[in-house]
Structure 1
Amino acid sequence: MRILRYAAFSANPAGGNPAGVVLDATGMDTDTMLATAAEVGYSETAFAVPEAENVLNVRYFSPLVEVPFCGHATIATAVAHAERHGPAELLFRTAAGPIPVRTHREADGSMVATLTSVPPRTRPLGPELAALLAALHWHPDDLDPLLPPRVAYAGAWHPIIAARTRGRLADLDYDFDALAALMREHAWTTIDLVRRAGPTEFHARNPFPPGGIHEDPATGAAAAALGGYLRELGLVDVPATLTVHQGADMGRPGTITVSIPADPASGISVSGTAVAIEAAAAQPNP
């Protein structure tokens, strides 16, 4: 077993979201994968088992739990695969469903991966919204009235909570234990806190306490869920391409590109580059 480390959604190893990648996890059982992810210490580590040419069975583990789908670890795994086998059209078989992934090399030499999510959907937030805001130490007046709170899915469930101001988003000081308990109760993977900077530009932050992570620096699955949310609620003109900035508030800036097709049954595409992290410089997420 060889554990690779990549920073996704950044061309700088000090930016984006670090992910562990095991390109051939054949023979590894669940306990070993979980222990390995805990040792790596990143928000997720992806474990791939080759099934056929360009088809991989992929599982994702945080230091504490398995998650059904992880966007940044998918991007990292696809780039790691492409750097060893060349750009290709891949299929990742995940617990959330089949995820097509394609890779290509840009003119500057960077490798870019694009995943297409399972069809997204949303559901209302009920009485649990009050408990969520309390755990975040947010007030209802902190919310953007143009982007209603909702739970969105594109492989994993994420409440989408839009801040009225950039300052509210920048001040992330929440009750870790209370939020973790609430998220476990409702099977939420991360909380997607967003601030709309323009029609197709967003800033985002993603607490991930059920995984033992205070904050995820760049969250592809949540970005896909955000794209589906905006399309379903008619909050963006489609087709559209979003730019999501994430990680700057924690010193790991990254950029996620989200493509939203007009067809309401289509998955959301998420694109980004990834770069290898030298083992000596690898650090767990805060």
Structure 2
Amino acid sequence: MQSAASQAAPSHKPKFSFEFFPAKTADAQEKLTQTFDELNTLNPQYFSVTYGAGGSTRDTTLGIVKNLLARSDTPIAPHLSCIGDSKAEIGELLNIYKAIGVTRLVALRGDLPSGQVNMGELPFAVDLVKFIREHSGDHFTVKVAAYPEMHPQAKNFSQDIDNLVAKHHAGAAGAITQFFYNPESYLYLRDKVAARGVDLDKFELTAGIMPITNASNLIRFADSAGADVPRYIRKQLAEYGDDSKSIRAFGFEVVLKLCEHLIREGVPSLHFYTMNKVKPNKELVEALGLV
């Protein structure tokens, strides 16, 4: 399953990290802990933990962060969204994270829960980044989101770049992209950010990587997030139907080649959207020679 290009160690080895989503049941949380222990043996730079719309998983996220911090010295970076929340609520959470040893955050606007209309005191991610800096100084390394294929709600790509650059100037140390399968979209974003005068050695543009293991889940995630799944991938996945083994093998080759392309282009880091699974993520990291 390993391509010829990946059999030799790449001349450039990017850093890598993993993302988890909050487990809702006791059994799922136990499984997540086991997944963390296995992936942590690969020595990632950090793990991130997502956060539901309007803070709907705040307590669960906090509990997972505490648990993972107690198991390892690997940094844990909670997601923190701002839309619909007050400064007092976010400030309280920042104090808790600082007290338990969190040094990294992923700062996002987030989505309003269904039926809620109040945008809160910090309606956009740039406002959240500014508030984190005002509240906590330089304690946290803050990453934000970037969109190689443009944020679904942006008017145009230039405006989207403006928003990303504004988050950098507000105090963000880097950005993690939405997942994508066309490497040129990442490279175009990178070049446009650099053309705005941003030093990419100081504002790290991490490529978000989504392994392909389930066709229907992938298409649903992509459609809801405004991410493009190229036609050849959609057609091949449709051709495989319920043949999960073929889907996983095809998906592995697609994502492996994507990562190899990005590594040749000097991508500084890869962030794997794990879906709380070990095997597809571990196989990719090992095949890329990053361990």
TM-score tier by shorter-chain length is under 0.3
- Could you state the TM-score of these two structures normalised by the residue count of structure 1? 0.27
Between structure 1 and structure 2, the one with the greater Rg is 2
Report which of the two has the higher share of helix.
2
Report which of the two has the higher share of strand.
1
- Could you state the TM-score of these two structures normalised by the residue count of structure 2? 0.27
